[in-house]
Structure 1
Amino acid sequence: MNVRNINPVMRLLVLASVVTLAAACAKKEESTTAPSDSSATSSAMSSDQGSGSTQSDDSTGSTTSPSSFDVQGGSGHFVKVAASAATMNTDQMAKAKSLAEAKGCFACHQVEAKVVGPAFAWVAYKYKGNPKAVDTLSHAIEHGVSGVWGGMPMPAQSVTPAQAKELAAWVLAQKPIAPPKSA
């Protein structure tokens, strides 16, 4: 895969995750925890680091990934996070787009152009770098929201919480484009 073909935002997210994980590992090595904790942490991190994969917890639908390491705690445990744009592969993107089509999202939104609501790429731009973006957007999808993009409210959608998170992650995975000044 040619590195130049990777979305610059995704490259930045991966780089930030690697730097964060390295800092957390260095902090862990400096701490005075028991050796048994250290070996468990090393094996947990090495199993995730090499593949770059995420693991799903069936009971909550959340994932664990190297980018969700608890840096502040420095404990070496992975924190549960919702599926994010950074973890969506091509198949997941296609599945989420099909869900967006089935749920009628394209009646009011397009990927790069305003219809009734903002373009998905504009939403991705607005929330890029926001760690709570998936939760914020999934709540807006599931329960509705007004006042974020002008006077037109977005009504609550008939989706499950898992579908709302999937759609939110898909929206955030779009190539971010700044909205025009008039939007």
Structure 2
Amino acid sequence: MKIKYLLLAVAMIGLTAFSNANLDETYINSSKIKSSKIQISDGEKLIAKSDCIGCHNKDKKVVGPSYVDIANKYAANDKNINYLSGKIIKGGSGVWGTLPMGAHASLTKDDAKSMVKYILSLKK
């Protein structure tokens, strides 16, 4: 069963790695707001360009926990930002279940911290 989840995660990562989504500018169209720009944080841009969406979603559990669940579990302080950015870079398992999160060794510490700051800003 673990192998199936791992293969599913790898397939999702592979599919999302070839996305051409350009998230530099986003517009909202509604009756009250007419085509106004929304600022997107650096962390959110980095997440959108990475393979994170293969296993994580903003508010729903996929393979790994949702970003909102992570934000609700950890306070936005330097200790947690350093801890979580290290987990992103090195990978790991055991906190959210037995399925391990792969390492993202190509990320810089600053980029990982930006991603974590964005995730922790989603606390409800």
TM-score over 0.5 for the alignment? yes
- TM-score when normalising by structure 1: 0.44
Matched, 1:125 2:72: yes
Match of 2:42 in 1: 95
Q: Distance in 1 between matches of 2:86 and 2:71?
A: 15
Q: 1:165 aligns with which of 104, 113, 116?
A: 113
1:14-59 CA distance string (max 9 Å, x none): xxxxxxxxxxxxxxxxxxxxxxxxxxxxxxxxxxxxxxxxxxxxxx
Question: 1:181 corresponds to which residue?
Answer: none
Determine the C-alpha separation between the residues in 2 that align with 1:175 and 1:136: 17
- Determine whether 1:144 maps to 2:100: no
CA shift in 2, pair 1:148/1:107, >3 Å = same
Which amino acid is the alignment partner of residue 46 of structure 2?
L
Name the residue aligned to 2:102: 155
Any stretches of 5+ residues in structure 1 without a counterpart? 1-89, 177-183
Write the mapping of 1:22-101 to structure 2, written as runs, cut at 5 A.
Answer: 91=39, 93-101=40-48
Give the alignment's TM-score, normalised by structure 2: 0.63
Query: Over aligned residue pairs, what C-alpha RMSD do you find?
Result: 1.7
The residue type paired with residue 54 of structure 2 is A
Higher helix share: 1
The aligned counterpart of 2:51 is 104
Unaligned ranges ≥5, structure 2:
1-37
Q: Which residue of 2 aligns with 1:10?
A: none
How many angstroms apart in 2 are the aligned matches of 1:95 and 1:134? Answer: 15
Show the counterpart of 1:19: none
- Equivalent pair of 2:57/2:67 in contact (CA under 8 Å): yes
Query: Between Structure 1 and Structure 2, whose CA radius of gyration is higher?
Result: 1
- Tell me what 2:30 maps to: none
The size of the alignment, in residue pairs, is 86
Q: Which amino acid is the alignment partner of residue 133 of structure 1?
A: N
Relative to structure 1, is the Cα distance of residues 163 and 129 closer, same or farther in structure 2, using a 3 angstrom cutoff?
closer
Taking only the aligned residue pairs, the percentage that are identical comes to 37
Q: Which residue of 2 aligns with 1:65?
A: none
Kindly indicate whether the alpha-carbon contact (under 8 Å) linking 2:74 and 2:120 is maintained by their aligned counterparts in 1: yes
Question: How far is the alpha carbon of 1:98 from its aligned partner?
Answer: 1.4
1:168 alignment partner AA: V
The one-letter code of the counterpart of 2:116 is A
